[in-house]
A and B are shown apart, each in its own frame.
Chain A
Amino acid sequence: MFSINNKISSRQIKMISIIEVFSTASLLLPKLVIETTGTLGWAPIVIGSIGILLYGLLIQKVTSKIESGFVAFARSLLGKFLGTIVALVFIIKLIFAVVFVLSLFTKIINISLLPLTPSWVIIFCMLVVSSWCACKGLEVRARITEILFWIIIIPIVLILLLAIPELKLDEIVGKSDAGVIDVIKGSYFTFMICSAIELFLFTAPYAEKKKDNRKSIVRIVITIAVLNIALYLTTVGLFGVNGTLRLEIPTLNIMQNVKLPGSLIERMDALMISFWILSIFSVTNAYIFHLATITKEMFKNGKQELICGLYGIIIFGITFFIKDYESMNKLFPLYMSYFGMPITVVIMIIIGITLLIKGDKVCDK
């Protein structure tokens, strides 16, 4: 009946996409834009978000032509060989991304919740739960996100609101030495960090009403941009530019500085990290799910459960090999800046142009 049609609503798509993008961006973006542009940090977020909006609209245009799956579509559009290469590029990017997210997550858990627990235990547990969720399919993921969305977003918004009285206005409106190049660099970082919007490519084809996808992508990007700007303003308003640069993950420190009225909870960060666990779970299971889906489409066969389990093992192996966040923190930005991000943007542009040329002749059935 309702539960076995492998379709999800526009509302579910919006929630999934917001969580997928914002979860990582919220931890990394404030420091990166302050590092590059100081108090002018809002500008790269706005410009980067416009870039993400355009990229998102391009992805939406492409997804409007996808009937059965992205890989089949890419193969029918670009030929079997190139289509497979495109799928492999996305697989590598998703694996990199999930490994980075898990390394970052482990570091945060080690800092704030479980300092004595080995990182492999933290990663293993998260991978087990995420793989299990991913193997249950898109509808189950959409349902869980509908519940988790509010558990994640409400406390974050609450924290941002509670932080308002503590903000120092002079830190926010202070002078910045950033030039145009810095703003462009910051915008690219924003664009790169929010590139999880690409996952829309794999989710949108399953929308119940595809015609709503255009509206959805606009709302997703606006919501993320507003949240990112609010988080940036809170960070710079609380710690100033110099204070932020001294902190490793300033978002965590925002939570430490905010007090709940009534003094029921002393350290908000430990509680807030709890909510971050949920968002990281949402991201991890999304990556594993899409990895499994792409692989299944590539080989036109395979059990979702088996492939998700296999990816769980592969990702665990890589994180075990890399061992710490510091190594990954050096490697991932390099990969993303010079290969991961540019190549997928180029691919999407090529697909968009080919679509324009071939028009309605494309059929992935």
Chain B
Amino acid sequence: MVEKRMLSKDLDTNIAIIQEIFVDCQDLVCKKFPIGKDLSIQVYALYFDVMVDRDAIENTIIKNFISEGRIIYEGVDAKSDSEKYNYVNSGAIATIDKKEVESIDEIISAVTSGDTAILVEGEAKCIIVATKKFPTRGISEPDNEVVVRGSKDGFTEIYRMNTVLIRRRIRDPRLKLKQFEVGVRSKTTVGIMYMKDLARDSVVSEVEKNIKSFEIDAILDSGMLEQLIEDKGYSPFPQVQATQRPDKTASALLEGRVALIVDNSPFALIVPATLNCFLQASDDYYSRWGIMALTRIIRYIAAVIAVLLPGIYVAVTTFHTAILPTTLALSFATAREGVPFPAALEVLIMEVAFELLREAGIRLPGSIGSTIGIVGGLIVGQAAVTANLVSPIIVIIVALTAICSFAIPNEELTAAIRITKFFILILSAFLGFYGFWLGVIAVLIHLSTLTSYGFPYLMPFIAGSIDNYNDLEDSLFRMPFRKMKKRPIFTKENARVRFRDKKKG
């Protein structure tokens, strides 16, 4: 472990070290100035420009030091160094949000986080005053998780604002927040939020352990942390749920799950996360249960179609046309008349073209992005069909697959489904239905091996007996609230009841 560089009692020595560390950092504001009636106390303040709340610095520190401090505290100049330091620390800074540190490294960490450091001559300590105020955008609607009904606020890049958005939804002291610094250079603040009485201790401690289990230069977004704390990072399937929605995070916390808030990231991470969690959307619970139960089933069907449809089409048209009714088989054959490519290649070309369009649409600015959709989807698609490069049926298959993948409310799961789709498509192209089923089996094996913080990924569809099949109430089907009386398996065993009907006593 690297030894900490401790502060010296000599202010100039400390200044020299700091200036050497921050050489060529021209956004650093630092100044040595005297305070006290006789200007006998030398102090040195430093902070990074624009990262701080200048009003706070001027009102809580500078104003007291320079204008009022020099008049009010008579006689302090004659006191010892230690007493002078105490005077500055307890009497001259008008805030309670401050702390003392004794090493240069802690000063660096605080200053680079937006705090102001104040060193006083004759004392090997430094006062750190919380003055963070980063340039930020306001709270806006989450663009990835739009809901018809429900709150419109989303997380921002400001860590503290995100924790506040959650805390205002759960006004309970049992909502705990533990903070860590992750990243050797970025020193990104990562917060673990959980309900003390609901979250399983084993999950909380494993999250903590995972966060401390690696050393990395920087965590620039929660997406990086996500990949580092997953049980199986090589899997295409996400095992950590990312969300932009504070209400979704609050709901997860109330189910005994653990949320991670990462500074500079508008996405919170939630663990444990099973496959079922990725197919739930916020407004499933805000709209009436009947229609949302139906929507949930449709979403599951959409996920299955998004993975399997291209594979089934290729298997049927290439190997098993006999299973189709004659009229349908003829209709397929007519549609494919004159197309020079085999069905498998045709689907592959169209799927890759669609992926290209999708990528181009994301990277281009909004207005041009939608133009790409029109040009690619409509004009090029139509031209390809007219030129007999692809059959119209393929356009339908690819479009239907794409629509189904958009019905999945989680981007990471959609990405996994896209990869899986290609895997099954290729196997179907070689071995028809046999290859198709082998692909399905392989995916199922993989999903069965996955866990998220000890919870099987396919819960509650497998191992449902662990919680007496209670979690099925909010899986393929969303039951009415009065029926969902228990929290999911993620919660501590003795805290499972979440609803009591007072009408029934």
State whether these chains interact: yes
**B432-446 contact mask (Cβ, 8 Å, vs A): 1 or 0:** 111111100110110
A109 at the interface (CB under 8 A from B): yes
Q: B454 — which chain A residues lie within 8 A by C-beta?
A: 1-4
Choose from B432, B436, B444 the contact partner of A148 (Cβ within 8 Å).
B444
User: What is the chain B residue whose CB lies nearest that of A268?
Assistant: B323
Within 8 A of A (CB), among B415-443: 431-438, 441-442
Q: Which of A9, A264, A277 contacts B463 (CB 8 A)?
A: A9
Q: Contact: B445 with A117, CB < 8 Å?
A: no
Assess whether B212 is interfacial by the CB under 8 Å rule. Answer: no
B278 at the interface (CB under 8 A from A): no
Query: For residues 100 through 129 of chain A, which have their beta carbon under 8 Å from a beta carbon of chain B?
Result: 109, 113-114, 117, 121-122, 125-126, 129
User: CA of A125 to CA of B202 in the docked complex: distance in angstroms?
Assistant: 40
Asked whether A143 and B463 contact (CB < 8 A) given A2-B456, A3-B451, A267-B322, the answer is yes
- A265-B461 in contact (CB<8A): no
Whether the pair A114, B434 counts as a contact (CB closer than 8 A) is yes
Residues from chain A with Cβ under 8 Å of B322 in the complex: 266-267, 270
- Asked if B285 is an interface residue, CB under 8 A from chain A, the answer is no
Q: Is the CB of A263 within 8 A of B325?
A: yes
In-complex Cβ contact of B432 among A4, A113, A266 (8 A): A113
Q: Report yes or no: A270 in contact with B434, Cβ–Cβ below 8 A.
A: no
In the complex, which residues of chain A have a beta carbon less than 8 angstroms from the beta carbon of B466? 2, 9
Query: Is A146 interfacial (CB 8 A cutoff)?
Result: yes
Tell me, yes or no, whether A11 is within 8 Å of chain B by CB: yes
Given A9-B465, A129-B442, check contact A117 B458 (CB 8 Å).
Answer: no
Query: Of B441, B445, B455, which contacts A3 at CB under 8 A?
Result: B455
Q: Distance (Å) between the CB of A51 and the closest chain B CB?
A: 30
Q: B289 an interface residue at 8 Å Cβ cutoff?
A: no
Q: Which residues of A contact B451 (CB under 8 A)?
A: 3
B85 within 8 A of A: no
In the assembly, what is the distance between CA of A265 and CA of B463, in Å?
34
Closest to B427 in A: A125
User: How far does the Cβ of A162 sit from chain B's closest Cβ, in whole Å?
Assistant: 16
By the criterion CB–CB under 8 Å, are B437 and A278 in contact?
Answer: yes
A271 vs B325: C-alpha distance when bound (angstroms)? 13
Question: How many Å lie between the Cα of A114 and that of B453 in the bound state?
Answer: 42
CB distance from B388 to the nearest CB of A (A): 27
Enumerate chain B residues within 8 angstroms of A122, measured Cβ to Cβ.
434
Q: Is A184 positioned at the interface, with any CB of B under 8 Å from its CB?
A: no
Q: Which of A9, A142, A281 contacts B441 (CB 8 A)?
A: A281
Q: Per a CB cutoff under 8 Å, which of B326, B449, B453 touches A140? A: B449
Q: Known: A3-B454, A4-B454, A270-B323. Is A109-B434 also a contact (CB below 8 A)?
A: yes
B324 within 8 A of A: yes
Tell me which residues across on chain B come within 8 A of A12, comparing CB atoms.
463
Determine whether the beta carbon of B441 is less than 8 Å from that of A2: no
Q: Is B21's beta carbon under 8 Å from chain A? A: no
Whether, in the assembled complex, A238 has its beta carbon less than 8 Å from a beta carbon of chain B, the answer is no
Q: Check if B332 is an interface residue, CB within 8 A of chain A.
A: no
- Asked whether B500 is an interface residue with its Cβ less than 8 Å from the other chain, the reply is no
**Bound form: Cα–Cα A2–B451 in Å:** 10
Question: Which chain B positions have C-beta within 8 A of A278?
Answer: 437, 441
0/1 interface trace, chain A 257-281, chain B, CB 8 Å (1 if under): 0000001111110110110011001
Does A277 lie within 8 Å of B456, measured CB to CB? no
Q: How far is the CA of A3 from the CA of B202 in the complex (A)?
A: 14
- Give the residue among A113, A142, A268, A281 with the most B Cβ atoms within 10 A: A113
- Among residues of B, the one whose C-beta sits closest to the C-beta of A264 is B325
C-alpha gap A112/B467 in the complex (Å):
42
User: In residues 466-483 of chain B, which contact A (Cβ within 8 Å)?
Assistant: 466
User: Could you tell me how many residues of chain A have their Cβ less than 8 Å away from some Cβ of chain B?
Assistant: 40
Residues on the A chain within 8 Å of B445, using CB: 129, 132-133, 136, 140, 144
Chain B: residues with Cβ within 8 Å of the partner, total of 34
Chain B residues 304-341 with CB under 8 Å of chain A are 319-320, 322-326, 329
Instruction: State whether B325 touches A136 (Cβ < 8 A).
Output: no
Q: Which residue of B lies closest to A126 (CB)?
A: B438
Check: B86 CB closer than 8 A to any chain A CB.
no
Q: Which of B202, B437, B444 contacts A277 (CB 8 A)?
A: B437
Which of A1, A114, A267 has its CB near the most chain B CB atoms (within 10 A)? A1
Mostly helix, strand, loop or mixed at chain B's interface?
A: helix
Residues of B within 8 A of A109 (CB): 434
The smallest beta-carbon distance between B455 and chain A, in angstroms, is 6
The reply to whether the CB of A147 lies closer than 8 angstroms to some CB of chain B is yes
The reply to whether A146 and B433 form a contact with Cβ atoms under 8 Å apart is no
A residues in contact with B202, CB < 8 Å: 1
Whose C-beta in chain A lies nearest to the C-beta of B324?
A266
Whether A140 lies near B442 (C-beta < 8 A) is no
Q: Given the known inter-chain contacts A143-B456, A144-B448, please indicate yes or no for A129 contacting B325, CB distance below 8 A.
A: no
Shortest CB–CB separation between residue B406 and chain A, in angstroms? Answer: 25
Q: Would A143 and B434 be within 8 Å (CB), given that A263-B325, A266-B324, A270-B322 are in contact?
A: no
Note all chain B residues with C-beta closer than 8 A to A273: 433
Whether B218 is near chain A, meaning CB under 8 Å from some CB there, is no
Cβ–Cβ contact B462 & A146, under 8 A: yes
CA distance A121 to B434 in the complex (A): 11
Q: Nearest Cβ distance between residue A86 and chain B, in whole angstroms?
A: 31
User: Is B461 within 8 A of A270, CB to CB?
Assistant: no
Q: How far is the CA of A199 from the CA of B436 in the complex (A)?
A: 29
What distance in Å separates the Cβ of B234 from its nearest Cβ neighbour in chain A?
15
A117 to B444, CA, bound (A): 25
CB neighbours (8 Å) of B461 from chain A are: 146-147
Bound together, the chains give a CA A140 to CA B438 distance in angstroms of 17
- The CA of A132 and the CA of B444, in the complex, are separated in Å by 12
For B456, the closest partner residue in chain A by CB is A3
Interface centre among B319, B448, B455, B461 (most CB of A within 10 A): B448
B324 in contact with A136 (CB, 8 Å):
no
**A268 contacts which chain B residues (CB < 8 A)?**
323
The answer to whether A114 and B325 have CB atoms under 8 Å apart is no
Name the one of B320, B325, B329, B441 contacting A270, with C-beta atoms under 8 angstroms. Answer: B320
Shortest CB–CB separation between residue A2 and chain B, in angstroms? 6
Please name the 6 residue pairs, one residue from A and one from B, whose CB atoms are nearest each other, closest first: A1-B454, A143-B448, A143-B462, A146-B462, A277-B437, A270-B323
The interface of chain A, by Cβ under 8 A from chain B, is: 1-4, 9-12, 109, 113-114, 117, 121-122, 125-126, 129, 132-133, 136, 140, 142-144, 146-148, 263-268, 270-271, 273-274, 277-278, 281
A-B contact pairs, 29 of them (CB 8 A): A1-B454, A2-B454, A2-B456, A2-B463, A2-B466, A3-B455, A114-B432, A117-B431, A125-B431, A125-B435, A125-B438, A126-B438, A129-B438, A136-B445, A136-B448, A143-B458, A144-B441, A144-B444, A144-B448, A146-B462, A147-B448, A147-B458, A147-B462, A264-B325, A265-B323, A265-B325, A270-B433, A277-B433, A281-B441
20 further contact pairs, Cβ within 8 A, besides A113-B433, A114-B431: A1-B202, A3-B456, A113-B432, A114-B432, A114-B434, A132-B445, A133-B441, A142-B462, A143-B462, A144-B444, A264-B325, A266-B322, A266-B326, A270-B323, A271-B323, A271-B433, A273-B433, A277-B433, A277-B441, A278-B437
Which residues of B approach A to under 8 Å, CB–CB?
202, 319-320, 322-326, 329, 431-438, 441-442, 444-445, 448-449, 451, 453-456, 458, 461-463, 465-466
